[in-house]
Amino acid sequence: MTLPRIAVDAMGGDEGVRTMVSGAALARRRHEDCRFLLVGDEPRIKRALDRHPNLRAASEILHAEDAITGEEKPSQALRRAKSTSMGKAINAVKAGDAGAVVSAGNTGALMAIAKLALRTIPGIDRPALAGLLPTLGRNDVVMLDLGANTDCDARNLLQFAIMGAAYARIACNLELPRVRLLNIGSEDTKGTDTLRDAAAQLKAAARDLDLSFDGFTEADKLCRGEVDVVVSDGFSGNIALKAVEGTARFVADLLRRSFASSLRSKLGFLISRPATELLKHHLDPNNHNGAVFLGLNGIVVKSHGSASALGVANAVALTARLLEENLTERITADLGRLGADSLRGKRANPAEVAG
């Protein structure tokens, strides 16, 4: 199967061209069907391609002199979109010259430019940023929104759940994803009116969709493997994500400090090294890299700014899979199964959740 080209914003991320091109090359070695449009400073990209002849044969370069910095506000980035690598990569998707875009650049700018250029799928009010978190279960957990929308109503949360379930069926190989809303408790009476309203709407909608709605979940259970899709507004979701990431770094640093504290600890490290290496692999964000802006007329994947070549390769591989499995079309089909009346989000009776 020949996939549409993936546009890579080669200027984004902490390391820029070298890491983005190396990551694309690694992805190409793993997936020979991948073809690329590398967007950025042409001389620098050509020099990077000299090390990766396999990628050069499957790539074209779109020159862009400018790059959006991490400090730029979305409004500033929008004004410069036409001349920047990020803006040109997204516009390549809009023009049909690429099927998806991967960028490790400024998240707010990426969201603003993509939303303006690609627009949202009919039936979706706002795009949502979805990511994968490691769990103790058989698969990762999809979490959204991770910061694109700080204030959401019940209809937004319903739409996020539909998109998150479609994404989980592809990314996690699930036929019937278990979906829950993030709340301060699992009881039906807990949380805001918006959350209880969303729960009632989602319970009704689940009858027509390939998902299982299991009510609410709390933040301490995100990585237990008991749920496949966690839905939240962007404010709460981003805080929960940062707490999980911070805890992972704390545990890793604490173990490192403990093993270095004495000779006995160093010997203990040698004995337990297989287990600690497994832990390191599980917690490494490069192994879960690639957050997706769901709900756009095109696939936009955000790589972590500090991602290594391996992390970029994983983000590209995820992008290729979403193209192959027709993520956008699947979301559109699920929205069509519900119909316009369900998506208008008439206020439901929260008591129905307990029914």
Separation CA 85–CA 163 (nearest Å): 28
The mean pLDDT value for 67-73 works out to: 88
**CATH architecture for segment(s) 125-289+325-355:** 3-Layer(aba) Sandwich (3.40)
169 has pLDDT over 50 = yes
Give 314-325 pLDDT, tens digit per residue.
Answer: 999 999 999 999
Tokens 């994947």 belong to 301
Predicted confidence (pLDDT) at residue 337 exceeds the cutoff of 90: no
Which residues are CB-neighbours of 305 under 8 A, at least 6 positions away?
12, 13, 14, 70, 104, 105
| Fold category of 1-118 in CATH | Isopropylmalate Dehydrogenase (3.40.718)
Q: Is the pLDDT of residue 270 over 50?
A: yes
pLDDT value at position 178? 95
Provide the whole-model pTM.
Answer: 0.85
pLDDT tens figures, 282-308: 556 677 788 999 999 999 999 988 888
For the chain, the structural domain boundaries read 1-118, 125-289+325-355
Report the relative pairing of strands 6-9 and 59-63 from DSSP bridges.
unpaired
DSSP string computed for 203-219: HHHGGGSS-EEEEEE-G
Per-residue pLDDT tens digits for 175-231: 999 999 999 988 888 889 999 999 999 998 888 888 999 899 999 888 888 999 999
CATH fold match for the domains 1-118 and 125-289+325-355: yes
